[in-house]
Amino acid sequence: MSMPDLLQKADRERMKIRIDETAGFCFGVVRTINIAEDRLKSNEKKRNTYVLGSIIHNPKEIDRLENEGLSTITHEDFERIASEGAELIVRAHGEPPSTFQRADNLGLDLVDATCPLVTGLQNRVKRFYDKGFQIVIYGKANHPEVIGIRGTIADDCIIVSGVEEAKDKVTLDKQTVLFSQTTMEKPVYKEIKELLSKRVSELVEGGDTKDLFHAKNTLCKEVWGREQKVLEFARENDIVIFVAGRNSSNGKSLFKHMQSENQNMHYIEDAQEMQQSWFEGVQNVGITGATSTPLWYLKKVKDRIVEINLLISP
């Protein structure tokens, strides 16, 4: 073996592969999955157990639970599963009150596994609405969590997905309160808050604004608490493999955030997407993911990188 080959081989053997210690499910998702697993195990009446919409934005975890007997349905399937006498789990994102009402009318057994933080957010929005406030929500209009919130106030709210929309869509002609979908970006939330706060101050020309505008930071601490930690992880590694479902809001947001510290990042959903060329000459590989990415799958990704590393020609 030539000297360059030996050096390359030595590099390859020195490659360190580390899973982010802070990665794994958030407590809301752990709780939902535990509820689903309990229902599947303790289903004495042998009823079918369903979940309304994907239980989590992660196809690997969905496959695992489907193998245990959990099936995913949509609102269109309500009548069919009610006639079976099945039970239906509401996932962490929550649902609007109309869903609970419809299930009740059909005699369908609902198991509410909504994250307590989401339930708390729905209740807070409703309280302000009932007091006559205009509700502004920083979020994605069609995200299931936002659909649930909108449903608590008969859709009478303004949804903004960023600062520009806040500029265009929000008129401050009545008492207003700003909330956020739990998984949105903290810097954008702060910008929207500052924009609206400044506008209200201009309207009252230096008068007291505290009764006119409230901003409630309802971003989930499990999400933005991780943002600082993942930045450090991004800095510590030459390359980061970020594992999350393609439709995970939290995944997209964390990935973008980490790219500010490390451009050498790859977003994958499946371990088979990784390419050998990504790891050539690399010494420190980091593996992390969204709050919906299971740890067991991060371990599989690590095993796959070990295999790839062995294939890199010396």
Residues that bind ligand SF4 (CB under 6 A): 26-29, 92, 115, 117-118, 182-183, 220, 222-223, 291
Q: What is the dihedral of CA 145, 147, 149, 155, to 10 degrees?
A: 160
Task: Spot the catalytic one: 145, 185, 222, 269.
Answer: 145
What is the sign of the dihedral through the CA atoms of 66, 69, 70 and 74? positive
Here the tokens at position 145 are 């969590």
User: Which of 27, 278 has the CB closer to ligand SF4?
Assistant: 27
Query: Rounded to the nearest whole angstrom, what is the least distance from the CB of residue 250 to ligand SF4 in the complex?
Result: 6
Query: Rounded to the nearest whole angstrom, what is the least distance from the CB of residue 222 to ligand SF4 in the complex?
Result: 4
User: Which of 115, 234 has the CB closer to ligand SF4?
Assistant: 115
Give me the residue whose beta carbon is nearest to ligand SF4.
28
Check if 145 is active-site.
Answer: yes
Query: Rounded to the nearest whole angstrom, what is the least distance from the CB of residue 219 to ligand SF4 in the complex?
Result: 9
Q: According to DSSP H, which parts of the chain are helical?
A: 3-14, 27-41, 59-67, 78-84, 97-106, 116-130, 144-152, 163-169, 186-203, 221-236, 249-259, 295-311
User: Which of 251, 286 has the CB closer to ligand SF4?
Assistant: 251
Beta 109-112 vs 134-138: how paired, if at all? Answer: unpaired
Question: Which residues 6+ apart lie within 8 Å of 21 measured at CB?
Answer: none
User: Which of 30, 195 has the CB closer to ligand SF4?
Assistant: 30
Q: Please report, for residues 53, 185, 213, 232, the alpha-carbon distance to residue 201 in angstroms, rounded to integers and kept in the order given.
A: 43, 25, 9, 38
Query: Rounded to the nearest whole angstrom, what is the least distance from the CB of residue 18 to ligand SF4 in the complex?
Result: 24
As annotated, the active-site residues are 145
